[in-house]
Amino acid sequence: TLGSKARSAGYGLAAFDQIGSTNAEAMSRARDGERGPVWFVTTEQTAGRGRRQRAWIAPRGNLASSILEVMDVSPGVAATLGFAAGLSLERALQKLSIEANLRRAGAGPLRYALKWPNDVMADGQKLAGILLEAEAVAGNRLAVVVGIGTNVIAAPEGTPTPATSLAALGVQIGAEELFAALSDAWVEFHGIWDNGRGFADIRKLWLERAFGLGERVAIQTGAATVEGTFDTIDESGCLIVRTAEGKRAAVTAGEVYFGAA
């Protein structure tokens, strides 16, 4: 179920035992007139979608969730919601981890970080992914779906970067308590996203938790690879790389690999 803040903020909830894709379900409801904001959630996703046309299958016990909201924003502005989503999940994990970490046998606290554009990392491995989809609906309004997939009990195989799960890390947090905390944190970060100061505050909070700032990075964008040092993200969420020749390159989308030679 939703957290209490999300409930009082008026979010709706559509929960499923099992579904193909919460993102696909959310978008199809938007085409049928649903305006949100509403969460779609399941602990078993059989035909989920990941970034770059990849699949995202969630075995029973993982958390697959999507928020649908129809808004008067440009696709570029909508895309910055992905950073608010990463922050929300990180906040939820931090909140629940304090106690759960104490139960991790002999291990120190988990370190969470946000990897551009919107992965959530735990101890350097991918724990969660976010997929944002947007489509024009009635008039000029945009149906924005923010999908968040978290590896609670299992990590998928064959991902381009090493993946992990809360269970593999010894953290006993269940999908349901995580969802309650996530939906509450979303209300908070969505409010910051929508505070009239543009992307400034979300950008700052995100950079404070950024994975690999100042490190060597290689970004694969289609056929090309951009290499350099991960400098910052700009006002629209682009990743800024300083190349060996001292040039500044802005990357809008791509697969990021850290520790490149």
By CB under 6 A, name the binding residues for ligand BTN. 21-23, 45, 48-51, 54, 56, 64-66, 119, 129-131, 147-149
Question: Least separation, in Å, of the C-beta of 21 and ligand BTN?
Answer: 3
Cα separation of 142 and 72, whole Å? 6
Residue 63 tokens read as 């958390």
Considering the complex, what minimum distance in angstroms separates the CB of residue 133 from ligand BTN? 9
Question: Given the complex with ligand BTN, which of 101 and 152 has the nearer CB atom?
Answer: 152
Radius of gyration, CA atoms only, the chain: 18
Nearer Cβ to ligand BTN (22/80): 22
Q: Nearer to ligand BTN by C-beta: 101 or 164?
A: 164
Choose among 137, 116, 120: nearest CA to 69: 137
DSSP summary character for residue 252: S
Task: Give the shortest CB-187-to-ligand BTN separation in angstroms.
Answer: 19
Shortest CB 105 distance to ligand BTN, Å: 29
For the chain, the distance separating the N- and C-terminal CA atoms, rounded to the nearest angstrom, is 46
DSSP, res 68: E
Under 8 Å between Cβ of 135 and 142:
yes
* Min dist. Cβ of residue 56 to ligand BTN (A): 4
- 247 HSE (CA, 13 A, CB side): 7
> CB-wise, 46 or 94, nearer to ligand BTN?
46
Tell me which residue has its CB nearest to ligand BTN: 129
Q: d(Cα 47, Cα 157) in Å, to the nearest integer?
A: 15
**Least separation, in Å, of the C-beta of 121 and ligand BTN?**
11
Q: Number of C-alpha atoms within 13 angstroms, CB side, residue 100?
A: 17
Q: For residues 1 and 28, which CB has a smaller minimum distance to ligand BTN in the complex?
A: 28
Neighbours of 210 (CB within 10 A): 17
Least distance (Å) between residue 108 CB and ligand BTN: 26
**Given the complex with ligand BTN, which of 30 and 148 has the nearer CB atom?**
148
List residues bridging with 221 in a β-sheet: 224
Express the helix, strand and coil content of the chain in percent, nearest 5 each: 25, 35, 40
CB nearer to ligand BTN: give 23 or 164. Answer: 23
